[in-house]
Structure 1
């Protein structure tokens, strides 16, 4: 982690004795930045379009559910059901990737989510909305697992944090614009954002189908024929030795993997659960604001995360994974606990931005940790799916538990639960060894 500085200091100490001191080259201090394959850039562009559509729907969904005269808990369930189906169908997604290949699984998953979104726009009652939204989770887990597998295999080992930041950053840019646009579109009817989301996903499917032909499935492993060597390729990407499979039991034996499952759960609880289900309702009920403020709050959270992503991925590749995850858990956990006690829009936006900053600090390091555990030379479908399931489980339980606390007490205790969950993960990470290579 501090090897570059150690080499530098030892060199200077030695040079002080010599009559003509020399200084280390840049190669001595740090490895050269790895060139990213073209396929990663295509996936990043697709992620941006997905995020715009998702951000448009996010601030509208809980309020659309409440338009059917249901409780806060029932409205939160509509958010959670998406994560529930992702959780249930995650193992199936790994199997589909092995049978169909990453590219086809990705495209099919995107089309399923698009059809689900379009159906939500025409839901006639709460139960139809619940079913349609839940079906979208099946497609979501398909393209998520496929994309994670591609990114891990294509990313150079020395740039895993940077690739994760780039991919996550594309989502954040979409999330910055999406909620604000969604709040404005809601003025024309709550159905319109769902139709715009479906159109964005159709565009993503077209982009991947036409611009990602260089990835092909070869017995469950990905081979890049152009734009850089695929991860694990033996010679320039022209071929690849058959990859061994990392058993889930072996991964669970590593403290770092067990710890990243807890931080994934905490991030799912906070960033994908509480933020999406409770923050829009809090803006309306506690602050007396409309959909526009709810959308801006989600965008502000995304801005905070985006700011962190500009440096957190690089720091995860230099300082290590553990320091970034610990700092992210602390910042996000404390901010989410404070959020429920904000009394005006200024503090609401400011604390939302700080919470987003914490999420951005740990996000790239978490994904890089999973990549370190699997490695470029192995396949880890079940390991990937389990990590995704940990985040989805947090996104499922978080909104339901928070909705129950709101109905029984108030918003303050509901947001404090996110702080408690982050603290538990923090304690899991303390004794874990940093997996940074």
Structure 2
């Protein structure tokens, strides 16, 4: 038996051995508990920062994570344009050069379940720091790879560290972000990664004269800077546990699956990984050349417009998610991104290709804050959610790996229209999965007005 709280399943308290968390039998007590949780997380965030966070202001620990995300994405962007060329320098073909990129994503996917267990055992901050160090060492080793085999191994090992700091960062945001601004924080965090990813390749191009080894060493250095910042500025990641003198009970994946919002988020995470992360990067450049009849410049324009649309949406939708609810923004984003993706595959002119790429980015930026905030709502501030978050991340990684391969095969067999059509349809199916879901937005957020301006 379970009781429903804001779309989240709460186990029966009569079975503490199975799920040791309290149940709340009525909406009044549920609302009160949600308010208490918000206050507890806000207090924890204030203590972690060393001073109270003004109402409506992002807590200082979250700002640290956002700054670190920018540095990490900037470094990755520096490496991304060089990596395929570096692999090709060992005399391998296109498929083998691409496999180096896939090895990183594959290791992320395979190690994701273990990373969730590590987070629950060590805590978010230690796992985050260890993950960054592993990626830094992997990047430095990659710079000194002497054979293709070494390059493949060193780059793949970086995926292990990547999933460690990704899952732990999400866990820290769940714990430290007040429920009333989870969407806003998710938007800021995604924007930091996006801006770093945009500026990184530009900086990488300026550093091209230093040789193919330099970007990997620069990336390693950027990661060590992020390690230092997080180590010095984010020292108290287990505030909730210390205040209660006990470890937070871990949420089981089976328990999270009782929540409709979590199940729907897994579906939309997979479809987003497939379409917005995988197919967009792998097939848009080929579509630009073979169907639209233009060269790499137009392909680059389409990718840039997607990023612009994504960033523009994130500046607005994070706040809206905390006001009108998670579900409306997720549904809107899935519909816009899905329909625009289908349109991209049918484009025959540069103008249509560019506009639809922009709309795809707007849709992606609209759905992501609500999707991540809903997962955070399911976990709540009083549970350790490492395993739950790792499964959520696995779905995106699986989509990102499978999408380019299967959609690419479909493009070869039936054309780009079918490849992008199926990819867009996956987004629409994810929207269907969200339709019966009850919104997880805390009730106090719906009545909370804008924060008063400080005079």
Q: Where on the TM-score scale, by shorter chain, does this alignment land: which range?
A: 0.7 to 0.9
Counterpart CA distance in 1 for 2:208 and 2:351 is: 23
TM-score scaled by length of structure 2: 0.76
- Partner of residue 143, structure 1: 165
Asked if the contact 2:183–2:373 (Cα under 8 Å) also holds between the matched residues in 1, the reply is yes
Asked if the contact 1:56–1:197 (Cα under 8 Å) also holds between the matched residues in 2, the reply is yes
Asked if the contact 2:117–2:387 (Cα under 8 Å) also holds between the matched residues in 1, the reply is no
Counterpart among 108, 112, 131 of residue 109 in structure 1 = 131
Distance 1:200 1:251, change over 3 A: same
Q: Deviations over 1:127-169 (max 9, x none)?
A: 5443333211100011011111111000111111111111111
Counterpart CA distance in 2 for 1:415 and 1:60 is: 28
Counterpart CA distance in 2 for 1:367 and 1:406 is: 31
Displaced runs of 4+ in structure 1, greater than 6 A?
none
- Partner of residue 179, structure 2: 157
Matched, 1:378 2:400: no
Counterpart CA distance in 1 for 2:149 and 2:407 is: 21
Counterpart CA distance in 1 for 2:365 and 2:325 is: 15
Distance 1:60 1:401, change over 3 A: farther
- Partner of residue 205, structure 1: 227
Distance 1:147 1:37, change over 3 A: same
- Partner of residue 41, structure 1: 63
Shift of 1:260: 0.6
Counterpart CA distance in 1 for 2:183 and 2:245 is: 24
Bigger shift: residues 158-167 or 194-203: 194-203
- Partner of residue 263, structure 2: 258
Asked if the contact 1:56–1:179 (Cα under 8 Å) also holds between the matched residues in 2, the reply is yes
Structure 2 gap ranges (5+):
1-38, 40-53, 443-455
Matched, 1:361 2:383: no
Counterpart CA distance in 1 for 2:157 and 2:289 is: 28
Structure 1 SS opposite 2:171? helix
Asked if the contact 1:81–1:134 (Cα under 8 Å) also holds between the matched residues in 2, the reply is yes
Bigger shift: residues 187-196 or 53-62: 187-196
Counterpart CA distance in 1 for 2:408 and 2:213 is: 24
Counterpart CA distance in 1 for 2:395 and 2:416 is: 25
Counterpart among 218, 228, 245 of residue 196 in structure 1 = 218
Distance 1:254 1:120, change over 3 A: same
Counterpart among 267, 272, 289 of residue 267 in structure 1 = 272
Asked if the contact 2:336–2:360 (Cα under 8 Å) also holds between the matched residues in 1, the reply is yes
- Partner of residue 397, structure 1: 402
Shift of 1:360: 0.6
Matched, 1:166 2:188: yes
- Partner of residue 6, structure 2: none
TM-score scaled by length of structure 1: 0.79
Asked if the contact 1:331–1:354 (Cα under 8 Å) also holds between the matched residues in 2, the reply is yes
Structure 1 gap ranges (5+):
1-30, 217-221, 224-231
Equivalent pairs, count: 388
Shift of 1:99: 3.4
Distance 1:402 1:78, change over 3 A: farther
Q: Deviations over 1:181-211 (max 9, x none)?
A: 3455557655554443333222212222233
Q: Deviations over 1:221-245 (max 9, x none)?
A: x21xxxxxxxx57xxx856654232
Bigger shift: residues 391-400 or 275-284: 275-284
- Partner of residue 17, structure 1: none
